[in-house]
């Protein structure tokens, strides 16, 4: 980060800070590319009163009022900061210009680049509140700050709300504590009044601007929030957790210590390409706490729960999945619940010895424990306290276990946010990778804690175990996730299944293969039984042996939420492409390869839908930057491709 020097402030002010003579619009912050502008307005057309932000977007010279009003304000237990806020000053403009590397995710090299302005207000009691506003090329973010020191106090309410007209198209998930619902597509008279999960996707009436609402850099000093339009159908207000979440444990209203900064309120904005490829949630979050990340290894894992819910109870099944990981060149296998009651030929220690002898690294499941969950599955309480975690992580180091899956959090109250972060802090001391299930949606922690590999917080393939109602919505759901949930962080969907679990799927084999590229997760759990992978033809089997799960670059090539999506991801000099179709009709796509490097010839292996949904059609092509290829997708079908330079 660098502050603008006094010699060039005048040059930047025209783009970054405009204090107007009229009271209505107080100032404007523009993105570096000038496509996004954030204006600060006063509701009473005065220098004191209620304040809001307005976000505009320019594409091809056409301006769109993307979000007409973002209301600002907080209510503390002692004072209110909303109705009578007096403008004090705007600070000096700041240019944010930071480069960093990510261990896993959609892009390895990241750029945190924005224009920032801090605006100071005070309430009638002369207590200060700052609002820090940033404009990025792919969105905007703002946060609240109490700069003064004083004793800790509760926040009674946050008044932030986004005004969005009913005619705006939206893709939203009804609030549920595990964040595992389906997305509803709504506009006009179909808009519902509910509490809603993050992230939420919108497309303006003129189709010019897409934007995704989320929050980032949540820490121990606050709770998670959600969106609610229950009071006003056009206003999505940030709302604290429900009292009943986590079986009523924990306090709804967070207690903050001072000086204090809220999480960032994040709006990812632009074209669909801008939204899908954005790393804004990570960009605004705090840098890594780890000096050494060499021990953090993204990779693919075999997983027995989907095909055998009690698989880890059976030593022979565990060893079969270790064999699968070794045969498929996957570095990990997961021992899910019931590993502490393993039988049929061996116990946990025997299984771990077998797994490591195969050159595979074991991962193990834990219940998060405590009174916040009714789930009694063991081991239950070993993650619950610092002392129990230190004892367990010490054992895992000795056993050669490199990662833990921790399940059933069921709340985003402040006490649970503190619990998540306590786990991550302790795991880092033992070089243990972590991923959360039954949990919150990512909040940028993957940057701060890069050993946090992924989260569930999605209706994934596990739901083929739970209900027949997932079978038919799954294809559409799969094409919404790349534009919503997977934008904001790793997503443990547990994809790529060719056989069936308790309930069947109607996606084609090509569709399932493509999910290995479409969905991003720092630990990617391939969910099918060994027979499902062994029965594949050579080309898709080879594809799954080699496909990475941590990427150097990501591009959206084509797609519309709920219809279809085609993504390209790069690892080193090779590109992987996945495309899926949600609709009940066959589609043909022409995919341009203009993202390839200049002057390089490549070999492309294209694995597409064959004559029917359980058949593949494989072809081999020589391509370069000027090439394009045609591909046919069956109804609910898909394809995958790998493009490697010709030596």
Segment 575-589, tens digit of pLDDT: 999 999 999 999 999
The pLDDT of 276-294, averaged and rounded, is: 98
Share of the chain above pLDDT 70, in %: 96
Question: What three-state secondary structure class fits 567?
Answer: strand
Position 535 pLDDT exceeds 60: yes
Position 2 pLDDT exceeds 50: no
Taking residue 421's Cβ as centre, other Cβ atoms within 10 Å add up to 17
DSSP E strands, 217-303? 226-228, 235-239, 255-256, 260-261, 264-270, 299-303
Instruction: Tell me the per-residue pLDDT of 81-114, one tens digit each, with 9 for 90 and over.
Output: 999 999 999 999 999 999 999 999 999 999 999 9
Question: What three-state secondary structure class fits 544?
Answer: helix
Question: Scanning the structure block, which residue is given the tokens 């986004």?
Answer: 162
Domain ranges in the chain are 2-283, 576-645
Question: What three-state secondary structure class fits 133?
Answer: strand
Q: What pLDDT does 174 receive? A: 98
Q: What pLDDT band is residue 647 in, cutting at 50, 70 and 90?
A: confident
CA 435/CA 640 separation, integer angstroms: 27
The pLDDT of 634-639, averaged and rounded, is: 98
Same fold, 2-283 and 576-645: no
Q: Report the length, in residues, of the chain.
A: 647
Strand order of the β-sheet with 25-30 is 25-30, 36-42, 51-59, 62-71, 161-163, 235-239, 226-228, 195-196
Instruction: Tell me the per-residue pLDDT of 14-35, one tens digit each, with 9 for 90 and over.
Output: 445 554 434 578 999 999 999 9
CA 284/CA 151 separation, integer angstroms: 27
CA 579/CA 518 separation, integer angstroms: 7
The pLDDT of 331-343, averaged and rounded, is: 97
The pairing of strands 226-228 and 235-239 is: antiparallel
Question: What three-state secondary structure class fits 491?
Answer: strand
Q: What is the mean pLDDT of the chain?
A: 95
Instruction: Tell me the per-residue pLDDT of 115-147, one tens digit each, with 9 for 90 and over.
Output: 999 999 999 999 999 999 999 999 999 999 999
Which residue from 543, 551, 468, 489 is spatially nearest to 512, judged by alpha carbons? Answer: 543
Position 499 pLDDT exceeds 70: yes
**Rounded to 5°, angle at Cα 158 from 80 and 178:** 160
Question: Scanning the structure block, which residue is given the tokens 């591909």?
Answer: 631
Extract the tokens encoding 223. 């709770």
Choosing among 2.60.40.1180, 3.10.580.10, 3.20.20.70, 3.40.50.300, the CATH entry for 576-645 is 2.60.40.1180
Which residue from 193, 146, 184 is spatially nearest to 166, judged by alpha carbons? Answer: 193
| b (16+ CB within 10 A) / e for 351-369 | bbebbeeeebbbbbbbbbb
Share of the chain above pLDDT 90, in %: 96
State the CATH architecture for 2-283. Answer: Distorted Sandwich (2.70)
Q: What pLDDT does 588 receive? A: 97
Which residue from 589, 605, 596, 590 is spatially nearest to 570, judged by alpha carbons? Answer: 596
Q: What pLDDT does 15 receive? A: 43
The pLDDT of 447-460, averaged and rounded, is: 98
Q: What pLDDT does 23 receive? A: 58
pTM over 0.85? The answer is yes
| b (16+ CB within 10 A) / e for 216-255 | bbbbebbbbbbbbbeeeeebbbbbbbbeebbeebbebbbe
């Amino acid at each position: 980060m660098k502050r603008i020097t006094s010699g060039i402030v005048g040059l930047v002010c025209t783009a970054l800070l405009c204090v107007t003579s009229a009271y209505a619009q107080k100032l404007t912050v523009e993105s570096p590319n000038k496509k996004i502008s954030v204006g600060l307005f006063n509701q009473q057309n005065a220098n004191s009163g209620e304040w809001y932000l307005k976000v505009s977007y320019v594409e091809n010279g056409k301006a769109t009022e993307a979000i007409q009003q973002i209301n600002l304000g907080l209510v503390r237990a002692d004072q209110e900061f909303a109705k009578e806020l007096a403008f004090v000053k705007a600070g000096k403009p700041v240019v944010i210009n930071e480069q960093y590397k990510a261990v896993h995710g959609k892009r390895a090299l990241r750029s945190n680049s924005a224009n920032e302005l801090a605006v100071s207000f005070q309430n009638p009691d002369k207590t200060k509140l700052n609002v820090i506003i940033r404009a990025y090329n792919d969105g905007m973010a703002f946060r609240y700050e109490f700069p003064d020191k004083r004793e800790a106090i509760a926040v009674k309410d946050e008044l932030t709300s986004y005004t969005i007209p009913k005619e705006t198209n939206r893709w939203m998930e009804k609030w549920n504590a595990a964040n595992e619902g389906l997305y509803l597509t709504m506009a006009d008279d179909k808009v519902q009044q509910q509490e809603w999960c993050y992230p939420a996707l919108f497309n303006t009436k003129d189709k010019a601007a897409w934007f995704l609402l989320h929050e980032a850099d949540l820490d121990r000093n606050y709770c998670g929030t959600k969106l609610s339009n229950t009071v006003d159908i056009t206003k999505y207000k940030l709302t604290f957790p429900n009292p009943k979440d986590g079986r009523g444990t924990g306090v709804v209203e967070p207690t903050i210590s001072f000086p204090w900064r809220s999480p960032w309120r994040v709006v990812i904005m632009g074209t669909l390409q801008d939204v899908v490829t954005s790393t804004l949630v990570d960009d605004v979050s705090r840098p890594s706490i780890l000096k050494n990340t060499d021990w953090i290894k993204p990779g693919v894992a075999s997983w027995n729960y989907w095909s055998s819910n009690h698989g880890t109870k059976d030593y022979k099944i565990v060893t079969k999945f270790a064999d699968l990981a070794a045969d498929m060149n996957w570095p990990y296998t997961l021992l899910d619940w019931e590993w502490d009651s393993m039988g049929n030929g061996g116990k946990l220690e025997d299984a771990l010895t077998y797994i490591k002898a195969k050159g595979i690294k074991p991962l193990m499941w834990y219940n998060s424990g405590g009174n916040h969950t009714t789930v009694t599955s063991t081991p239950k309480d070993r993650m619950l306290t610092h002392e129990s975690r230190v004892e367990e992580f010490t054992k895992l180091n000795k056993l050669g276990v490199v990662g833990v899956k921790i399940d059933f959090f069921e709340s985003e109250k402040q006490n649970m946010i503190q619990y998540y972060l306590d786990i991550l802090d302790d795991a880092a001391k033992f070089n243990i990778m972590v991923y959360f299930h039954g949990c919150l949606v990512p909040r940028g922690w993957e940057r701060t804690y890069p050993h946090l590999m992924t989260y569930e917080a999605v209706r994934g393939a596990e739901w083929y175990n739970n209900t027949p109602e997932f079978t038919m919505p799954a294809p559409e759901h799969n094409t919404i996730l790349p534009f919503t949930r997977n934008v904001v962080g790793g997503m443990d969907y547990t994809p790529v299944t060719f056989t069936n679990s308790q309930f069947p799927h109607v996606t084609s084999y090509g569709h399932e293969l493509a999910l290995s590229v479409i969905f991003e997760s720092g630990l990617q759990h391939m969910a099918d039984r060994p027979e499902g992978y062994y029965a594949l033809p050579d080309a898709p089997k080879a594809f799954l042996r080699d496909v990475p799960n941590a990427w150097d670059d990501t591009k959206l090539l084509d797609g519309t939420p709920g219809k279809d999506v085609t993504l390209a991801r790069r690892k080193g000099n090779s590109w992987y492409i996945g495309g899926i179709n949600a609709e009940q009709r066959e589609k043909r796509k022409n995919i341009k390869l203009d993202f390839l490097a200049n002057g390089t010839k490549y070999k492309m292996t294209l694995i597409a839908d064959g004559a029917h949904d359980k058949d593949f059609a494989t072809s081999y092509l020589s391509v370069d930057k000027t090439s394009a290829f045609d591909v046919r997708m069956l109804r609910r079908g898909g394809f995958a491709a790998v493009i490697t330079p010709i030596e």
